[in-house]
Amino acid sequence: MPRLSGMKALILGAAGGIGAATAQIFALEGARLALLDLSAGLDTVANEVAAAGDLASFATCDVTDAGSMAAAISDAADALKGLDVVFNCTGGSSPADGAVDVVDDSEFWRTISVDLFGTWLTCKYAVSHLRKSACASIINTTSSAALRGTRGANAYAAAKGGVASFTRALAIEYAPNRIRVNAIAPGATMTARIAKRMAESAELREKIRVRQPLGLVEPEEIAYLAVYLGSRESRSVTGQVISVDGGITA
């Protein structure tokens, strides 16, 4: 039997990278899906998911806007006729990030708005629907940068560190409601954005080679962990930040 059979799942950041890979694998594992992203590229992923499994809805939304998120999550829950799993997979680092004494404050607030506040809003508006589920799971996305010292991405480390701490707080907050809350901490992952940056930077290629001994993570590797965290297999797992990072935190 598929591992997510009968589960109603909402995936944010589904237009590409880890989010798209997770949407496709969730579909194959039997989940009924609603997909959200700001990118128009969501149409392509939605068509692929519909061909592979059960797609209830897809829509664009802005994770930094409370009104947009409230409406999008309500519509998704209506289309799904409930909500069991939420996978927050929005955000990411930017070349504009850097050391705290040189990076522009606008980049800090951009990163906080997308990575941390976006996660906050998703959880805020999903909880009322998840309370009705017999097997509810929130899966946030943090980063290896939240778990170790880093250089050159201080805003990103701050935002993703906040996601990790927020995840633990929610796990305790909503344990009485049987809502499990965990986070995945990827290392450098072979998304289209990272592939482009690596192609342009020999320095980045060498940094990853030295720091991540098993090499780049594939998006599907993150997706399979999300399947576990969304399924009944992990019904006693909550408050965890789990690394899939090619050994970078080691």
Q: Which of 125, 156, 174, 228 is catalytic?
A: 156
What is the band of 199 on the pLDDT scale with cuts at 50, 70, 90?
low
Pairing, β 54-60 against β 32-37: parallel
Measure the CA angle with vertex 18, ends 16 and 20; round to 5°. 45
pLDDT at 1: 85
pLDDT at 13: 95
In this structure, are residues 57 and 35 in contact, taking their beta carbons and an 8 Å threshold?
yes
In this structure, which amino acid lies at residue 163? Answer: V
Round to whole Å and give the CA distance between 189 and 222: 9
Domains present along the chain, CATH in parentheses? 8-244 (3.40.50.720)
**pLDDT over 70 percentage in the chain:** 93
pLDDT at 39: 85
- Say yes or no to pLDDT of 198 above 70: no
The tens digit of pLDDT for each residue in 52-79 reads 999 999 999 999 999 999 999 999 999 9
In this structure, are residues 9 and 85 in contact, taking their beta carbons and an 8 Å threshold?
yes
Round to whole Å and give the CA distance between 56 and 77: 9
Q: Residue 196: which residues within 8 A CB-CB, separation 6 or more?
A: none
Q: Residue 113: which residues within 8 A CB-CB, separation 6 or more?
A: 64
Of the listed ranges 65-69, 150-154, 163-167, the one predicted with least confidence: 150-154
224 is catalytic: no
The tens digit of pLDDT for each residue in 87-127 reads 999 988 888 999 999 999 999 999 999 999 999 999 999 99
Six token digits for residue 91: 């955000």
**Higher pLDDT pick, 132 / 249:** 132
Task: List the helix and strand counts (H, then E) for the chain.
Answer: 9, 7
Question: Among candidates 137, 155, 162, 121, which has minimal Cα distance to 87?
Answer: 137
Mean pLDDT estimate for the chain: 92
- Say yes or no to pLDDT of 195 above 70: no
The tens digit of pLDDT for each residue in 171-193 reads 999 999 999 999 999 987 766 67
